């Protein structure tokens, strides 16, 4: 194994199995750089354990508690004045009513547009005229050109086909 692999094991020393620890300790005996890293790491771990054991205590418990309670009281007074204001209540009511009116207007617009532009009726009428034309041809059993030939030549009398020919050619 390379030193880089052993460096990773040094950081995970407490989680290694017994065989892995023995392998690491054998390498540390032969490699000065890894031995120094292991020594530094263990000393840092010991310092962290010492610092973690120290419990901080404030100099004056009563003064700290009093300061915190006063700050909470001031904060509650500031927020209660803001929420108890009648101006704020009326402003919120006005904003709510404005949003309701705007929502109503928005919901009415699509209905009015449908009245103005009857797109569905146009499509149905044109498809109806096509089907009527073909039914008339079948009943008369006339030998007229196919739809493709009719569109290609432009000699058909159907309104839909004439519009199609104008747009595409």
Report d(CA 23, CA 6) in Å as an integer: 9
What integer pLDDT is reported at residue 91 of this predicted model?
87
Mean pLDDT, rounded, for 52-63: 82
Length of the chain (residues): 169
132: nearest Cα among 166, 158, 154, 150: 158
In this predicted structure, the answer to whether residue 168 has a pLDDT above a threshold of 60 is no
pLDDT in tens, 98-152: 999 988 887 775 555 555 555 555 545 556 666 677 667 666 655 555 666 666 6
What is the three-class DSSP state of 152?
Answer: helix
Amino acid 89: pLDDT: 82
- HEC readout, 2-18: CHHHHHHHHHCHHHCCH
């Amino acid at each position: 194994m390379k030193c880089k692999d052993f460096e990773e094991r040094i950081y995970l020393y407490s989680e290694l199995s017994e065989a892995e620890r023995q392998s690491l300790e054998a390498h540390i005996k032969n490699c000065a750089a890894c031995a120094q890293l292991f020594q530094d790491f263990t000393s840092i771990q010991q310092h962290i354990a010492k610092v973690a054991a120290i419990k901080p205590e404030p100099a004056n418990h009563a003064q700290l508690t009093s300061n915190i309670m006063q700050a909470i009281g001031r904060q509650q007074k500031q927020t209660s004045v803001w929420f108890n204001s009648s101006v704020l209540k009326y402003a919120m009511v006005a904003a709510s009513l404005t949003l309701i009116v705007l929502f109503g207007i928005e919901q009415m617009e699509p209905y009015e547009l449908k009245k103005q532009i009857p797109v569905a009726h146009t499509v149905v009428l044109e498809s109806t005229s096509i089907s009527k034309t073909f039914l008339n041809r079948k009943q008369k059993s006339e030998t007229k050109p196919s739809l493709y030939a009719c569109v290609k030549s432009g000699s058909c009398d159907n309104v839909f086909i004439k519009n199609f020919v104008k747009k595409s050619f």
